[in-house]
Amino acid sequence: MSFDSLSLKILTLEIKNEITGRTIDKIMQHRDGEFAFVLRNENGPSIMLISINPNFAAFFHTAEYKINFMNTPSNYQLLLKKHLEGARIKDIKTIHSDRILALYLSAKDSFSESEYILFFEFMGKHSNSFLYSGNCEIQNLSSEKVLGALNFSHNLCEFIKKPQKKDISEILRETDAGEAIENARNASTDTAADGIGAANPLPRAFPAKELIKRLNGLSPFLCKVAQTRPHQRALFEIARIFSSPDRASFKNLIETSRGDNNSIFNIYNTSIYSEKNAEGKIKKYAYPFDIPAAENSARGAGKETTADGESSSRETCGSVNECYARFYISRDSEFITAKLKDKISKLKDMAIRKKDSFESDLKESADYKKYSDYGHLIISALNDIKASGGNKKTESVTIGEIKIPLDARILISDNAHRYFKISKRLKAKNEYCKNIIFKLDNILARIEECRARLDIGHLTFSTEFCAAVEKDIISIAGELIYEKRTRKKFLCEFAGELKIFKSCVAKKESGEDRAKNKAAEGSAGETASKYYRLFTSEEGFLIYVGRSDTGNDYILSKIAGQQDYWLHVKDFRGPSVILKTPKNSDAEAIERAIEEAALYAVHFSQGRGATKIFVSCAMRKYVKKIKRAAGKVTYTNETTLLVDIDKLEKKFGAV
């Protein structure tokens, strides 16, 4: 699969600084093996998704994209919630350059601090995850300290402690890479099968299969990249990626080699690729290297094409993390509609089976004119037959040169009436079949239209869309399924899938509406909430103003960090104000922001019309909420500010 050790390593380098220090606010299980972690810090919430689902492995962190999760609790998810909600992420690593991710976490309570390691193994159908209590070196892991696992086994730690293959990051020099390739060639019994074909300009084939068996970190996708460049250098550059300690060193590695046609970094292009396979189906995957372009350049092709001659396409992203975020969201919308499509496909199969049956009947009834002609021929020759005494029971009669088969049980004259009846019945059947086939063609067209609307994409989904699909399917089922019990069963199953789909669409719409409202209100300088008003200072700091006593408690307990500032007007009733101050902020900028926050504290208080007014300011860590008294606090180490009335009137106008 395209999600290999290299993708995981690069994702870890890109995400590490973003998530380190964040607190896990909530843990959800979307589907089997898909875990969503809602993280928070002073900059707001974000989502980290880790999927070890065999059908779609993924790992990304985003604060930009909104994802609708269908929480499906499991015993393992409940275990993670128990131990890790409220825990802080200390570090994140890949183990032995393999598809193993380790999250190092620290959870505090009133009495102690606990250390945990959360492991995720991206191994296809053998994927697993387990929670380890403690923080120790990988080689010292003990099965006794495993708190729980997605798929429990007594040897959970052994696979991680003792890797079966050599770590590719141990290749420290280009000569080491050459030696590894040569050893693999000598051990391989069929190196020719591992090459890229007769068009390969390189003198000797790259021993991909044997190297994958020997080295952790290599994958078929990565070997395709190495095959298009000088083998020794390519393997050494791959090893350097796995040895990179942080994102800065990895970026430097890319930039220093960019433009060198012999370097794999010349084809470094984080994108979502679309290609057609041998069956003509579109295959999409995310990968950091442009493999199609590399293979075509190795063949000497001037145009980038797929195997069937059609051009491949790509959607370029700024990072591998962004690639997987976009890719997952598109795949997730496909998954949500997949079950709806299955139900619609059932209707389509019913319609096709019925159409085939009626087309068969139509073919059988197409000869109704022949039977009418037989009847007319017998009637026209009946007088001659009677005159010669031939109106008797026989198996056939010849009139002119036409031999007409008869029913030997009845007279010739009665056979004429029989043929007229057959002709009339077949004609009616023929007309009926034509009408039904026409009706079924219309039904199939409507079914295809519903399928096409679902295939358009998640951006077109809305409440009106759901209502239209529901109306069409109920109408189609009513016309297609005659048996009441079968129709009722189908509609109940369809309603269940549609309910899930509707809930996802409703969440998406509400999220979009909230975003639009925030954007509209933000353009006026204020963002709305039932608990607070949100403003941005001239220095770029966030200022939260409580709307009520409940709002004051909310911003103090849920939003304010220990190093943020709390402000309140003296001698008058008014809101609590929280000034968010990011780490390493300039002291002078903080002072200016405090003065501006004091203006908001006065403006929204009952003392805004006074000629002289003071505001108390203290760091959040010196402010304590009074129990069972909404909006009331005690504070120490405060500073008293005298508000400049001229600045207040200039900012908000005269009262």
Model confidence over 377-405: pLDDT tens digits?
A: 888 888 777 777 777 788 888 887 888 88
Q: What is the pLDDT at residue 300?
A: 54
In residues, how long is the chain?
Answer: 655
Is the CB of residue 320 less than 8 Å from the CB of residue 7? yes
Tell me how crowded residue 193 is: count the other CB atoms within 10 A of its CB.
Answer: 11
Rounded CA-CA distance 106/102 in Å is: 13
Rounded CA-CA distance 119/152 in Å is: 13
Domain limits of the chain?
Answer: 5-164, 167-318, 330-501, 527-652
Identify which has the larger pLDDT, 515 or 39: 39
Is the CB of residue 39 less than 8 Å from the CB of residue 27? no
> Residue 24: pLDDT above 70?
yes
Q: What is the mean pLDDT of the chain?
A: 83
Query: Which residues touch 341 (CB under 8 Å, ≥6 apart)?
Result: 451, 454
Alpha helices per DSSP H over 199-319: 208-214, 220-227, 231-243, 247-257, 291-299
Q: What is the pLDDT at residue 59?
A: 93
**For the residues 226-245, what does the mean pLDDT come to?**
90
Rounded CA-CA distance 54/137 in Å is: 28
Highest mean pLDDT: which of 332-346, 366-380, 614-628?
Answer: 614-628
Q: What is the pLDDT at residue 241?
A: 92
Q: How many CA atoms lie within 13 A of 562 on its CB side?
A: 1
Question: Cα 525 from chain centroid?
Answer: 34
> Residue 105: pLDDT above 80?
yes
> Residue 517: pLDDT above 50?
no
Q: What is the pLDDT at residue 528?
A: 55
Amino acid identity at 586: D
Q: What is the pLDDT at residue 147?
A: 92
**For the residues 229-244, what does the mean pLDDT come to?**
90
Q: What is the pLDDT at residue 189?
A: 56
Model confidence over 595-622: pLDDT tens digits?
A: 999 999 999 998 888 888 999 999 999 9
Task: Report helix angle 174-187 to 231-243, nearest 10.
Answer: 120
> Residue 202: pLDDT above 60?
no
Render 261-278 in DSSP notation, one character per residue: TTSGGGGEEEEEEEEE-T
Q: What is the pLDDT at residue 356?
A: 92
**For the residues 86-106, what does the mean pLDDT come to?**
92
Tokens 């290297």, residue located: 289
Is the CB of residue 121 less than 8 Å from the CB of residue 149? no
User: Nearest Cα to 618, choosing from 553, 561, 566?
Assistant: 566
Rounded CA-CA distance 96/118 in Å is: 16
Model confidence over 128-144: pLDDT tens digits?
A: 999 999 988 888 888 88
Rounded CA-CA distance 383/389 in Å is: 10
Burial of 477 (0-12, 13-18, 19+ CB in 10 A): buried
Q: In which band, very low, low, confident or very high, does the pLDDT at 655 lie, cut at 50, 70 and 90?
A: low
Percent of the chain scored above 70 by pLDDT?
87
> What is the layout of strands, in order, in the sheet containing 268-276?
282-289, 268-276, 313-316
Rounded CA-CA distance 313/177 in Å is: 33
Rounded CA-CA distance 393/158 in Å is: 92
Alpha helices per DSSP H over 457-573: 463-480, 484-523, 549-554
> Residue 639: pLDDT above 60?
yes
**For the residues 170-181, what does the mean pLDDT come to?**
89
Burial of 445 (0-12, 13-18, 19+ CB in 10 A): exposed
Q: What is the pLDDT at residue 507?
A: 54
pTM of the model: 0.60
Model confidence over 521-536: pLDDT tens digits?
A: 444 344 457 888 888 8
Q: What is the pLDDT at residue 509?
A: 52
Tokens of 184: 């693999």
CA distances to 519, 526, 527, 580 from 523, rounded to whole Å, are 6, 7, 9, 20
> Residue 226: pLDDT above 80?
yes
> Residue 438: pLDDT above 60?
yes
User: Nearest Cα to 569, choosing from 622, 617, 637, 624?
Assistant: 617
Angle at 413 between CA 410 and CA 418, to 5 degrees: 70
Q: In which band, very low, low, confident or very high, does the pLDDT at 80 lie, cut at 50, 70 and 90?
A: very high
Model confidence over 190-200: pLDDT tens digits?
A: 544 444 444 44
> Residue 309: pLDDT above 70?
no
Rounded CA-CA distance 228/217 in Å is: 18
Q: What is the pLDDT at residue 651?
A: 83
Instruction: State the distance between the two ends of the chain, measured CA to CA, in whole angstroms.
Output: 66
Identify which has the larger pLDDT, 265 or 518: 265
User: Nearest Cα to 53, choosing from 150, 167, 133, 173?
Assistant: 150
**For the residues 189-218, what does the mean pLDDT come to?**
66
> Residue 91: pLDDT above 90?
yes
**For the residues 274-292, what does the mean pLDDT come to?**
79
For domain 5-164, which CATH number applies: 2.30.310.10, 2.40.110.10, 2.160.10.10, 3.30.460.80?
2.30.310.10
Highest mean pLDDT: which of 369-383, 399-413, 557-571?
Answer: 557-571
Model confidence over 439-492: pLDDT tens digits?
A: 999 999 988 888 887 776 555 567 777 888 888 888 998 888 888 899 898 888
3-state class percentages of the chain: helix first, strand second, coil last, to nearest 5: 50, 20, 30
Tokens of 81: 């919630």
Model confidence over 62-73: pLDDT tens digits?
A: 887 766 666 678
Q: What is the pLDDT at residue 299?
A: 58
3-state secondary structure of 133: strand
Q: H or E segment at 379?
A: helix 368-380
